[in-house]
Protein backbone atom coordinates (compact mmCIF):
# COMPACT_ATOMS: atom_id res chain seq x y z
CA UNK A 1 0.00 0.00 0.00
CA UNK A 2 1.45 3.28 -1.00
CA UNK A 3 0.37 6.83 -0.77
CA UNK A 4 0.18 8.88 -3.90
CA UNK A 5 0.07 12.60 -3.96
CA UNK A 6 -3.16 13.73 -5.58
CA UNK A 7 -2.80 17.37 -5.09
CA UNK A 8 -0.30 19.74 -3.66
CA UNK A 9 -1.02 23.39 -3.18
CA UNK A 10 1.50 25.99 -2.27
CA UNK A 11 0.46 29.28 -0.79
CA UNK A 12 1.82 31.98 1.44
CA UNK A 13 2.16 31.22 5.13
CA UNK A 14 0.18 33.20 7.69
CA UNK A 15 2.72 35.96 8.11
CA UNK A 16 3.52 36.09 4.40
CA UNK A 17 7.29 35.70 4.75
CA UNK A 18 7.37 32.04 3.70
CA UNK A 19 5.18 29.37 2.18
CA UNK A 20 2.85 26.60 3.23
CA UNK A 21 2.42 23.47 1.17
CA UNK A 22 -0.81 21.63 1.58
CA UNK A 23 -0.58 18.03 0.38
CA UNK A 24 -3.47 15.68 -0.27
CA UNK A 25 -2.63 12.02 -0.64
CA UNK A 26 -4.59 8.94 -1.61
CA UNK A 27 -3.65 5.29 -1.25
CA UNK A 28 -4.69 2.20 -3.21
CA UNK A 29 -7.81 1.84 -1.11
CA UNK A 30 -8.82 5.42 -1.66
CA UNK A 31 -8.78 7.00 1.73
CA UNK A 32 -7.13 10.35 1.69
CA UNK A 33 -4.94 12.10 4.14
CA UNK A 34 -3.66 15.60 4.12
CA UNK A 35 -0.79 17.35 5.70
CA UNK A 36 0.67 20.79 5.73
CA UNK A 37 4.30 21.69 5.59
CA UNK A 38 5.23 25.12 6.82
CA UNK A 39 8.30 26.67 5.28
CA UNK A 40 8.69 29.68 7.49
CA UNK A 41 10.61 29.72 10.77
CA UNK A 42 8.26 32.24 12.41
CA UNK A 43 5.05 30.38 11.48
CA UNK A 44 6.59 27.02 12.27
CA UNK A 45 7.44 28.29 15.71
CA UNK A 46 3.98 29.79 16.18
CA UNK A 47 2.43 26.48 15.18
CA UNK A 48 4.50 24.56 17.66
CA UNK A 49 3.64 27.05 20.42
CA UNK A 50 -0.06 26.59 19.63
CA UNK A 51 0.24 22.82 19.74
CA UNK A 52 1.97 23.07 23.07
CA UNK A 53 -0.79 25.35 24.38
CA UNK A 54 -3.39 22.85 23.15
CA UNK A 55 -1.71 20.03 25.00
CA UNK A 56 -1.52 22.09 28.18
CA UNK A 57 -5.19 22.96 27.81
CA UNK A 58 -6.15 19.30 27.31
CA UNK A 59 -4.23 18.43 30.43
CA UNK A 60 -6.01 21.17 32.35
CA UNK A 61 -9.40 19.93 31.07
CA UNK A 62 -8.64 16.36 32.18
CA UNK A 63 -7.64 17.66 35.57
CA UNK A 64 -10.83 19.73 35.97
CA UNK A 65 -13.01 16.79 35.05
CA UNK A 66 -11.08 14.45 37.30
CA UNK A 67 -11.54 16.84 40.23
CA UNK A 68 -15.25 17.30 39.51
CA UNK A 69 -15.73 13.52 39.43
CA UNK A 70 -13.72 13.06 42.58
CA UNK A 71 -15.62 15.71 44.53
CA UNK A 72 -18.98 14.40 43.32
CA UNK A 73 -18.04 10.83 44.19
CA UNK A 74 -16.86 11.81 47.67
CA UNK A 75 -19.95 13.87 48.33
CA UNK A 76 -22.82 12.16 46.60
CA UNK A 77 -22.05 8.62 45.44
CA UNK A 78 -23.43 7.04 48.58
CA UNK A 79 -26.66 8.98 48.26
CA UNK A 80 -26.81 8.11 44.57
CA UNK A 81 -26.48 4.38 45.19
CA UNK A 82 -29.06 4.55 47.98
CA UNK A 83 -31.55 5.95 45.47
CA UNK A 84 -31.34 2.77 43.42
CA UNK A 85 -30.83 0.25 46.20
CA UNK A 86 -33.36 -2.57 46.21
CA UNK A 87 -35.02 -1.37 43.04
CA UNK A 88 -35.98 -3.57 40.16
CA UNK A 89 -33.93 -2.94 37.03
CA UNK A 90 -36.99 -1.54 35.32
CA UNK A 91 -37.72 0.91 38.14
CA UNK A 92 -34.06 1.94 38.22
CA UNK A 93 -34.14 2.54 34.48
CA UNK A 94 -37.24 4.72 34.86
CA UNK A 95 -35.61 6.76 37.58
CA UNK A 96 -32.37 7.07 35.64
CA UNK A 97 -33.82 8.01 32.25
CA UNK A 98 -37.19 9.41 33.23
CA UNK A 99 -38.72 6.65 31.10
CA UNK A 100 -37.20 7.67 27.78
CA UNK A 101 -33.93 8.68 26.20
CA UNK A 102 -30.57 6.98 26.49
CA UNK A 103 -30.07 4.18 27.29
CA UNK A 104 -33.12 2.35 25.99
CA UNK A 105 -34.48 -0.25 28.40
CA UNK A 106 -32.89 -3.23 26.58
CA UNK A 107 -29.52 -1.48 26.47
CA UNK A 108 -29.83 -0.65 30.16
CA UNK A 109 -30.42 -4.34 30.96
CA UNK A 110 -27.35 -5.29 28.93
CA UNK A 111 -25.19 -2.72 30.68
CA UNK A 112 -26.34 -3.98 34.06
CA UNK A 113 -25.53 -7.53 33.01
CA UNK A 114 -22.05 -6.60 31.78
CA UNK A 115 -21.36 -4.60 34.93
CA UNK A 116 -22.28 -7.56 37.12
CA UNK A 117 -25.03 -5.89 39.13
CA UNK A 118 -27.38 -2.92 39.11
CA UNK A 119 -25.42 -1.10 41.79
CA UNK A 120 -22.13 -1.66 39.94
CA UNK A 121 -23.64 -0.17 36.80
CA UNK A 122 -25.14 2.78 38.66
CA UNK A 123 -21.76 3.35 40.28
CA UNK A 124 -20.20 3.50 36.83
CA UNK A 125 -22.91 5.85 35.52
CA UNK A 126 -22.49 8.34 38.32
CA UNK A 127 -19.12 9.88 37.39
CA UNK A 128 -19.38 9.11 33.69
CA UNK A 129 -22.72 10.88 33.29
CA UNK A 130 -21.95 13.35 36.00
CA UNK A 131 -24.18 16.26 35.02
CA UNK A 132 -27.14 14.00 34.39
CA UNK A 133 -26.59 12.15 37.68
CA UNK A 134 -26.43 15.36 39.70
CA UNK A 135 -29.60 16.57 37.99
CA UNK A 136 -31.38 13.34 38.93
CA UNK A 137 -30.15 13.71 42.51
CA UNK A 138 -31.38 17.29 42.56
CA UNK A 139 -27.98 18.39 43.77
CA UNK A 140 -26.73 21.88 43.17
CA UNK A 141 -23.08 22.02 43.99
CA UNK A 142 -21.48 25.31 43.03
CA UNK A 143 -17.96 23.98 43.32
CA UNK A 144 -18.58 21.06 40.97
CA UNK A 145 -20.57 23.23 38.58
CA UNK A 146 -17.70 25.71 38.38
CA UNK A 147 -15.26 22.90 37.51
CA UNK A 148 -17.56 21.55 34.80
CA UNK A 149 -18.19 25.01 33.40
CA UNK A 150 -14.48 25.71 33.13
CA UNK A 151 -14.02 22.29 31.56
CA UNK A 152 -16.46 23.04 28.74
CA UNK A 153 -15.21 26.59 28.29
CA UNK A 154 -11.73 25.25 27.52
CA UNK A 155 -12.75 22.77 24.89
CA UNK A 156 -11.89 24.88 21.87
CA UNK A 157 -8.33 24.46 20.68
CA UNK A 158 -6.20 27.52 19.98
CA UNK A 159 -4.48 26.16 16.92
CA UNK A 160 -6.22 26.04 13.61
CA UNK A 161 -6.45 22.52 12.28
CA UNK A 162 -4.26 22.54 9.25
Q: Which stretch binds Zn ion (CB under 5 A): 15-23, 63-71, 87-95, 128-136?
A: 15-23
Q: Is 20 in the site for Zn ion (CB under 5 A)?
A: no
**Binding track, positions 28-67, relative to Zn ion; x by CB under 5 A:** ------------x-xx------------------------
Q: Which of 6, 10, 15, 153 binds Zn ion (CB under 5 A)?
A: 15
Give the binding-site size for Zn ion (rule: CB under 5 A).
7
| Cα–Cα distance measured from residue 91 to residue 77, given in angstroms and rounded to the nearest whole number | 19
Shortest separation between residue 43's beta carbon and Zn ion, angstroms:
3
CB neighbour burial string for 4-15, b if at least 16 within 10 angstroms, e if fewer: eeeeeeeeebee
Q: DSSP readout, 96-156? A: HHTTSSSSPHHHHHHHHHHHSSHHHHHHHHHHHTHHHHHHHHT---HHHHHHHHHHHHT-S
Task: Compare residues 42 and 137 and give the one whose CB is closer to Zn ion.
Answer: 42
State the residues that interact with Zn ion by CB under 5 A: 13, 15, 17-18, 40, 42-43
Amino acid sequence: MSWEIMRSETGPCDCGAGTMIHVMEMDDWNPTRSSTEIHCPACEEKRSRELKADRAREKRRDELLRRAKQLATDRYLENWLARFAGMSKRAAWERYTGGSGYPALGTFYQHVKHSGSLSKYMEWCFPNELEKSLRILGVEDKEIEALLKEHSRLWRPTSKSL
